[in-house]
Chains A and B, each alone.
Chain A
Amino acid sequence: MSQGHHITSIKTLSIVIGALVILTGLTVFTSRFDLGVFTVPLALAIATTKAALVVTIFMALRWDNKINAAIFGIGILFVIVFISFVLFDTAFRGDLPNTTKGTIMEMEASEAEMQSREPDASTRQFNRTPE
C-alpha cells in the first residue's frame, strides 16, 4: 500500500504467542490452589492480559488508525456498563428485609394509629419491680 501499513515482525508475533501460551499455563496452575476471594479476579486479570496482547499486537490496534481503538474502547465501556448495572440489581436483591407492603404514607398512618392506642408510658415496662 502506498502509505505503508505497519508490518508486525515475525519476532514480535512469536514473543506474543509465547507469552499467551505461558499465561494459559499460569491460569491453569493458579486454578489448582484455593485462593478464596482472589480466584475470580486473578483468572480475569490473566484473561484480560491475554486479550490485551491479542488486541494490541495480533489485531495491531496499537499501530492502527485511532478511530478503531475508539470504537473498540466504547464497545468495552458498554460491556462494563451492561455487567455492572445488571449487578446493581441482582447482586443486592434480598438485602432489604424491612420492606413493607404499604406505601410510606400508609405506614406512617398506621404508626400514628398504634401510637394513639398506646396506654400510659409507665405501664410499658414488662419487668417492673413489684411496688
Chain B
Amino acid sequence: MDNASTDRPAHLKHYFVSSDQQFDAAKMGMWLFLVTEILLFSGMFVAYTVFRVWYPEVFAHSAELLDWKLGGLNTIVLLASSFTVALGIHYAQKDNQKGLVLNLILTFVFACTFLVVKYFEYTSKFEHGVFPGAAFDPHGVSHGVDYALYNIPFAAQFFSIYFVMTGIHGFHVLVGMGLFIWITRKAIRGDFSSEYYTPVENCGLYWHLVDIIWIFLFPLLYLI
C-alpha cells in the first residue's frame, strides 16, 4: 500500500483511488451541472412556448426582422467549434499535444467569431429602436425593411425573449472563451496527456451544451 502511494501521478487527488475514479467523478459532476444549465434555459424556453402559443402570428412576423443569414452563419460557426473541441479531445487521448493545442485555439477563434457576428446583429437592432422591454420602439428604414411595421402588440415580448435568451447564451460563450484560454495555456505547458485530460473533457462537454442551446434557438427565433 505504501509503495503504491509513491507511484501516484501528480494530477491524482489523495481522496481518489485511481485516475479513472477521479475522471468518472469529475465527469458525472459535469453532467449534473449541465442538467442545471438545461433547466436554466428551459425556463426561458417555457416563456417562449407560452407566448408563441398565445400569439403565433406575432412571433412568425417578428422573426422576419431577424437576419437568418447571420443566425445561420453563427450556427455553422458554433457547430464547427463543437467539432474542433471533439477533435481536441481525440488528440489529447492520442497524446498529440500539437493537435490538441491547435484545436483548442481554433475553438477559441470560432467563439470570438460567434460573438462578433452577435455584436453586429445587436447593434443593427439597437440602431432602429429594437430594444428589450419597455424601450421597444422600432423605427426607421434600412435595407428596404420598414421597422415601423414591426411595432405591433406583443412584438416587444418576442424581442425581449430574443434578447434575454441570446444574451444569456452569449454570456455562456464568453465564459467558454475564458475556459478555453485557461485550458489552452495548460495544454501548451504540457499538462495534458492520454493519462490526464479531465479539464479538456469537461470544458468540451460544457461547450457542446452551449452549441445544443443554439441549435434550438436558431430555428425557433430566426426561422419560424
Contact = CB atoms under 8 A, between A and B. Distances in A.
A86 B50 CA distance: 8
A83 B28 contact: no
A16 to B, nearest CB: 8
Interface string B1-21: 000000000000000001110
A23 B85 CA distance: 20
B192 interface: no
Interface in A13-66: 13-14, 16-17, 20-21, 24, 27-28, 31, 39-40, 43-44, 46-47, 50-51, 54-55, 57-59, 64-65
Contacts of A8: 86, 90
B46 A86 contact: yes
Contact of A71 (B35, B83, B85, B220): B35
B45 interface: yes
Interface residues of B, number: 50
Interface residues of A, number: 48
Given A31-B224, A54-B212, A82 B90 contact: no
Contact of B82 (A54, A64, A79, A91): A54
A18 B62 CA distance: 31
B47 to A, nearest CB: 9
B223 interface: yes
A10 B87 contact: yes
Nearest to A71: B31
A99 interface: no
**Candidate in A44, A59, A65 with the most chain B CB atoms within 10 angstroms:** A59
Interface string B39-69: 1001101100110111000000000000010
Given A46-B219, A83-B42, A58 B49 contact: no
Given A43-B223, A87-B50, A55 B38 contact: no
B46 A83 contact: yes
A90 B49 CA distance: 10
A64 B86 CA distance: 14
Interface in B117-159: none
A44 to B, nearest CB: 8
Interface of B: 18-20, 23-24, 27-28, 31-32, 34-35, 38-39, 42-43, 45-46, 49-50, 52-54, 68, 72, 75-76, 79-80, 82-83, 85-87, 90, 93-94, 194-195, 204-205, 208, 211-212, 215-216, 218-220, 223-224
13 contacts: A24-B75, A31-B224, A40-B52, A43-B220, A44-B219, A58-B82, A58-B83, A64-B27, A65-B24, A68-B31, A71-B32, A74-B35, A86-B46
Interface of A: 1-3, 5, 7-10, 13-14, 16-17, 20-21, 24, 27-28, 31, 39-40, 43-44, 46-47, 50-51, 54-55, 57-59, 64-65, 67-68, 71-72, 74-76, 78-79, 82-83, 86-87, 90-91
Given A40-B52, A43-B224, A58-B208, 16 more contacts: A1-B194, A2-B19, A7-B94, A8-B86, A9-B90, A17-B83, A28-B72, A46-B219, A47-B216, A54-B208, A58-B204, A65-B28, A72-B31, A82-B43, A83-B45, A91-B53
